Amino acid sequence: LGMARESGLKIIPVVSKVDSPLARVAEVKQELCTLLGCPIEEVLETSGKTGQGVEDLLKEVIKRVPPPEINQNDKTFRSLVFDFQYSNHTGVIVYVRVFNGTVKKHSELVFKVAEENFNALEVGVFTPLDTPADSLSAGEIGYIVTGIKEPGIASVGDTVADRSDRGAALEGYMSPRPVVWASIYPESQDDYALLKQSLGKLSLSDSSFTYEEEASGSLGRGFRCGFLGMLHLEIISERLRREFNLELIVTIPSITYEVKRVNGKREMVYSPSFFPDENVIAEIFEPWVKLNIIVPSSYLGSILQIAYEHEGEVGETEMFGDTRSSVTITMPLRELMRNFFDELKSISSGFASLSYEILDMRPADVVRLDILVADELIPAFSKVVSKKRVQEEGEAAVERLFNILPRQMFTTKIQAKSLGRILSSRTMSGMKKDVTQHMYGGDITRKMKLREKQKKGKKKMKERGKVNIPHDVFLKMMKSE
């Protein structure tokens, strides 16, 4: 809503689902009037289920929304991509809004940002199905069949123009940049090739996520993926499971940090595993977000409390009618990902709604927390946490792993480490076997020799042994986050 207002767009207030027995039509209409500062007569009522008010809404769109401005002096074709899809037969089909000129079948075109040439195999409009047309002209929206089958070329926000056009891309283009990162591995390494193929197909219809191959000693071969947010991550992982029948391991999500080294060099760090040592870091920056939460006023105090617990800074608070409030909160993206949404749903009994936008990079007081098993660092368990919470997080991780890791043949230490210091440690005793069980008497010294031999064997095993962490332990540790 804020972006629409900043862009000077016409806003038409509509109350939907008015046929529902739970609908609060009069109350919501009044809230919209308060939010937008409009007369209550301008708020429309619709129901997608029954069709009530839909025709009136379409008429009001035509009446209230001004027609697109057309530059009659510029006949060069230029259009903005607002969506696209992929067809195995025809390749990428881009959905465009035409700003200048006309495009026809066989027109020679170019993606201005991607710098990729193609010929229009077909152009058309939506009725609402894709319907071929002779041409698309300034002020219209429609589709262009590109024939391109390579991933990563088409993207939302790119400009499609005549190949002869030497002008810059249309204003307002901003390439989407991943802000949340997670690694995706197949549960069975036999599915690695299928996962790679599936990610390639998804990227043809969604260029806003990135992926690259990586390998883990504990999880095998997989992919490091970048997403626009937590919802984007959930959508991609769910599509992989449903559309391609893949069983996946999705690691603990992390965010992008900017690290300034003591020598002045800056770098972007996408994974806790690649976080530099503390002695070479001068300053760390992390992304912040602005949240807008709408909630029944009776829950407002509790929500402000969890906001403070997540390093939030409370901004404006507005009342909508007599029962609902809107509050603006800024906080680190790291804290939003630390179960904030789940806590919000729980404390508001599911009545709160939340939206957020990325703001900027700000100084961060964070450190890397590592987990060691038998003195061996396990990269998959590393994460970046607030320096204030590192002790608490370390103790919780050690306790959790201690309870789910199977006992080994030798004594095993589980430790949490940060800034070169052990924060928490638990020792898991090794499995025992009575080596004198077969003896029913005899000299006691023989039993002592057998026990001493067993003790030396376990000591060697501890010195040379390596803990094999089962697959399901990784899954449980990541789900517990």
- Tokens found for residue 64: 């209230």
- 261-363 to CATH, choices 3.30.1490.20, 3.30.70.240, 3.40.50.720, 3.40.80.10: 3.30.70.240
Q: Which residues of 354-392 are buried (b: 16+ CB within 10 A; e: fewer)?
A: bebeeeeeeebebbbbbbbbbeeebbbbbbbbbeebbbe
- In whole angstroms, give the CA distance from residue 249 to residue 187: 6
pLDDT in tens, the chain (481 residues): 777 787 788 899 999 998 888 888 888 888 888 878 888 989 999 998 899 999 999 999 999 988 887 776 678 899 999 888 888 888 889 999 999 899 999 999 999 888 899 999 999 999 888 899 999 998 899 999 999 888 778 888 889 999 988 888 887 556 667 778 888 888 888 889 999 988 888 887 777 788 888 877 667 888 988 888 778 888 898 899 898 998 888 887 888 899 999 988 999 888 887 888 888 889 999 999 999 888 888 888 899 999 999 999 999 888 876 778 889 999 998 888 888 888 888 898 888 888 888 888 999 999 999 888 888 888 878 888 899 989 999 999 899 888 888 876 667 888 999 988 899 998 887 665 554 555 555 666 766 766 666 565 655 544 445 667 776 777 777 664 5
The predicted pLDDT at position 146 comes to 92
Asked if 102 contacts 136 with a C-beta cutoff of 8 angstroms, the reply is: yes
Domain 180-251 architecture: 2-Layer Sandwich (3.30)
The predicted pLDDT at position 464 comes to 47
SS3 for 196? helix
- In whole angstroms, give the CA distance from residue 317 to residue 327: 4
- 2-64 to CATH, choices 3.40.50.150, 2.30.30.40, 3.40.50.300, 3.40.50.2300: 3.40.50.300
Burial of 79 (0-12, 13-18, 19+ CB in 10 A): buried
The predicted pLDDT at position 457 comes to 60
pTM of the model: 0.67
- In whole angstroms, give the CA distance from residue 22 to residue 283: 52
CA separation, residue 332 to residues 261, 273, 287, 393 (Å): 21, 20, 6, 17
The predicted pLDDT at position 453 comes to 64
CATH topology of domain 78-162: Elongation Factor Tu (Ef-tu); domain 3 (2.40.30)
The predicted pLDDT at position 294 comes to 86
CATH topology agreement for domains 2-64 and 78-162: no
Whether domain 368-480 has CATH 3.30.70.2570: the reply is yes
The predicted pLDDT at position 463 comes to 45
Q: At what angle do helices 340-347 and 300-309 cross, to 10 degrees?
A: 160
**DSSP 8-state code for residue 19:** T
Which residues fall within 8 angstroms of residue 301, CB to CB, at 6 or more apart? none
Which residues fall within 8 angstroms of residue 255, CB to CB, at 6 or more apart? 179, 180, 181, 286, 287, 333, 334, 337
The predicted pLDDT at position 105 comes to 92
- Tokens found for residue 149: 């089958």
- In whole angstroms, give the CA distance from residue 298 to residue 144: 51
Question: Which single residue is written with the structure tokens 């690290």?
Answer: 259
Give me the half-sphere count of Cα atoms (radius 13 Å) on the Cβ side of residue 118.
25
Which residues fall within 8 angstroms of residue 460, CB to CB, at 6 or more apart? none
Residue 339 zone, left/alpha/beta (φ > 0; ψ -120 to 50; rest): left
- Using alpha carbons only, give the angle 360, 335, 222 rounded to the nearest 5 degrees: 90
SS3 for 108? strand
The predicted pLDDT at position 161 comes to 93
- Tokens found for residue 145: 């069949």
Q: Where are the alpha helices (DSSP H) in 359-481?
A: 390-404, 444-464, 471-480
The predicted pLDDT at position 170 comes to 82
The predicted pLDDT at position 201 comes to 82
Q: Domains of the chain: which residue ranges?
A: 2-64, 78-162, 180-251, 261-363, 368-480
**DSSP 8-state code for residue 274:** G
- In whole angstroms, give the CA distance from residue 474 to residue 251: 9
- In whole angstroms, give the CA distance from residue 69 to residue 117: 28
